[in-house]
Chain A
Amino acid sequence: MTQHIATLWAKRPTPRGLAVDSPARPVFLALGLMLVVGWLLFTIDGGQFFSQANIVGIQQRSAALGIVAVGQTLAILAGSLDLSVAFLISLSSLIAAETMAEYGVLAGIGATLVVSAVVGLVNGLVITRLKVHAFIATLGVALIIKGVLESRYDGPAGHVPESFQRIGFDRIGPVPVSALLWLAIAVAAWFLLSRTTLGYRIFAVGGDPEVARLSGVRTDRVIVTTHVLCSLAAGAAGLLLAARLGAGAPTVGTDGGYDLESVAAVVLGGTALAGGRGGVAGTVGGVLLLAVLDSSFNQLEINSFAKDVVRGVVLVAALAVYARRRYAR
């Protein structure tokens, strides 16, 4: 036992992101490979992969999904799951646009984040207090939000001031502001997971809730917190999309398929769906991988439906590879 602990401590100093046993490693290898393939495809097709337009495009495309996926990572790491993010994104975009039109930008941001946090709190409490499986709890909350959206809105609503729209389109050099926002949220989540007590507790609860509870972790609190953070991330994505559209839209979340797609990005990044293993770095890699795939398809002008087919195959193939690696050891 002591020996076990000793080896655990000895391992700690290696940087987690690049260690051989890091679950994030294969996704970055795949991303590197995909960048080379993308570059080759672009060159053959007469385009420029590393052109500023394409690089900016990739970042723009991945920012919203990336922000949601970072939140989803926290929920999944704690052994939970959030299927309500897509409808919450739509709701956030509408709340943001309507409040901003009336009371200004800051009030809009505040209202959106408060509502998102409340939705996350409800998700977390239903899961922990009522002991409803996360899949069903968040699906139920998603349906509730869907009903509210469909009964109150039948099209885009509200208006986002010019000053706030800049978040959606401005960039500093080749880096869009939206990508910086994503980066900031990802770094915050990374810090939370690797440098704070809460982070270690999230891994503990996701690894084995019973063991975590017996070790003195208040597991319910941890799960509720991850759901609040996940919903806040969805709210931030809704704000970003409202800034891009200039208004709120009731279908912006579901059209993007952010619920299942964010789960896909998280598991592509090597985070275990059952929780307890993985991290934010892998998720960022997973989102970028999907975005590079997208931009290659766009360059080749392949039918958008074929994209779904390839995505499905990539997802299953990647997970099969991870499973092999895990069992090979």
Chain B
Amino acid sequence: MRRNLPIFGVLTVLLVAIAIANPYFLEPQGFLAFVKRAAPLAILAAGQYFVIVSGEFDLSVGSLVTAEVVIAARLVDGDPGATWPVIALLLAFGALVGAVNGLVTTLLRVPSFIVTLGMLLILSGAVSLWTDGSPRGALSEQFRQFGRGTIGPVPWSALILGAVVAYVVWLMRADFGRTLVATGDNQTAAALSGVRVHRVKTIAFVLSGLSAAVCAILLGGFAGVSAQVGQGLEFQVITAVVLGGVVLGGGRGSVAAAIAGAFTLQALFTLLNLHGISGALEFTVQGLILIVAVALGTLQPSWRPRRRKPPALTS
């Protein structure tokens, strides 16, 4: 838990800074609006966390989100009755893409950077091919509810995020989480201890694909249908996860911190907007903060416990 402290500290500072600049943020409505904006990235970060902590990359999520939104718009096409079947189909498609990523990475032994880069090319090419370059169709009102609607005062997306957080935290405390971290830490040792490494990694990719599907459902409602909706999300989400202190290469970091990283990134965007640094220079600031934050994370003073308790390998 101590390892997670820096990111929660940074997040708190940013939230206080936002509240000072914009007191509306302290009211429930203002804060829930922020949660609603952050939810898609946070969910995507939870999925990416599984892949990164197992020692791999998933670069395909950005184009997967775009693909899902475009598919949804085309299939729903304004028909309210199609909402639920299409949502089921989107989740299945996300899981399928994740499974392919995972199986090619583990069974064919191709580096996941390349597998998911190939998947990125395939998905973005295939979607453009299918839609002739510009997405068609429209989402139904019911479908868009998840991204922008509310139940009473609470946005749907905040509830979905809550459910996802509860699920992933439970998952990381269960046997699966322990074996996943062990795999990322030392794949050979994990395999020798009886972890089915291939299966664990493939499940991590499936979870990442599923998170992209959920993210797409929220973003489709929130931001609408466009061919750019997922652009750059893959790098943004890896940034968020790494900001949360999760180490590229695997075996270190917690899922709560990864989600906090996503909130931190969103808070940063909000703050920059409030201070009028929107658009162009936003990227420069984002890049600087990314480097500084990760550098501070690795150069942390020695008070931090050097060795964690080795994860138990029960299965």
Contacts and interface: CB of A to CB of B under 8 A. Distances in A.
Interface of A: 126, 130-133, 135-137, 139-148, 150-151, 260, 263-264, 267, 273-274, 303, 305-313, 315-316, 319-320, 323-324, 327
Given A143-B290, A260-B117, A273-B113, A136 B248 contact: yes
B291 A130 contact: yes
A137 B124 contact: no
Highest count of chain A CB atoms <10 Å: which of B59, B242, B287, B294 = B287
A144 B287 contact: yes
Contacts of A146: 283-284, 287
Contacts of B129: 303, 305-306, 309
B125 A323 contact: no
Contact of B287 (A140, A263, A316): A140
B294 A132 contact: yes
A307 B129 CA distance: 10
Which DSSP category, helix, strand, loop or mixed, fits chain B's interface?
helix
Contact of B294 (A133, A303, A310, A315): A133
How would you classify the secondary structure of chain A's contact residues: helix, strand, loop or mixed? helix
Nearest to A311: B121
B194 interface: no
A267 B111 CA distance: 10
Nearest to A84: B287
A316 B288 contact: no
A126 B288 CA distance: 11
Interface of B: 57, 59, 104, 108-111, 113-115, 117-122, 124-126, 128-129, 133, 235, 238-239, 242, 247-249, 279-288, 290-291, 294-295, 298-299
Nearest to B287: A143
14 contacts: A133-B294, A135-B248, A136-B242, A136-B290, A139-B235, A144-B284, A147-B284, A267-B114, A308-B124, A309-B121, A312-B120, A312-B122, A316-B118, A319-B108
Contact of A315 (B117, B286, B295): B117
A314 to B, nearest CB: 8
A133 B249 contact: yes
Contacts of A273: 111, 113-114
A313 B291 CA distance: 33
Nearest to B121: A312
Contacts of B108: 316, 319-320, 323-324
B128 A305 contact: yes
Contact of A151 (B121, B238, B281): B281
A140 B281 CA distance: 13
Q: Which of A135, A143, A324 has the most CB of B within 10 A?
A: A143
Nearest to B117: A260
Contact of B279 (A143, A150, A305, A308): A150
Contacts of A303: 129
Nearest to B116: A316
Given A146-B284, A303-B129, 4 more contacts: A133-B249, A136-B238, A267-B114, A320-B109
B288 A144 contact: yes
Contact of B295 (A132, A148, A263): A132
Contacts of A313: 118, 122
Q: Which 7 A-B pairs have the closest CB atoms?
A: A147-B284, A308-B125, A143-B287, A312-B121, A151-B280, A147-B283, A312-B122
Contact of B291 (A132, A148, A307, A311): A132
A141 B291 contact: yes
Contacts of B114: 264, 267, 273, 315-316, 319
A308 B295 contact: no
Nearest to B249: A133
Contacts of A315: 114, 117-118, 121
Given A147-B280, A315-B117, A320-B104, A142 B287 contact: yes
Given A130-B299, A136-B290, A137-B291, A143 B128 contact: no
Contacts of A308: 121-122, 124-125, 128
Contacts of B284: 143-144, 146-148, 151
B217 to A, nearest CB: 24
B295 A131 contact: yes
Contacts of B249: 133
Contact of B298 (A131, A148, A264, A305): A131
B113 A147 contact: no
Contacts of A260: 59, 117, 120
B97 to A, nearest CB: 12
Contacts of A142: 287
Contacts of A135: 57, 238, 248
A312 B111 contact: no
Nearest to B120: A312
A150 to B, nearest CB: 4
Contacts of B57: 135
A150 B248 contact: no
A328 to B, nearest CB: 11
B299 A131 contact: yes
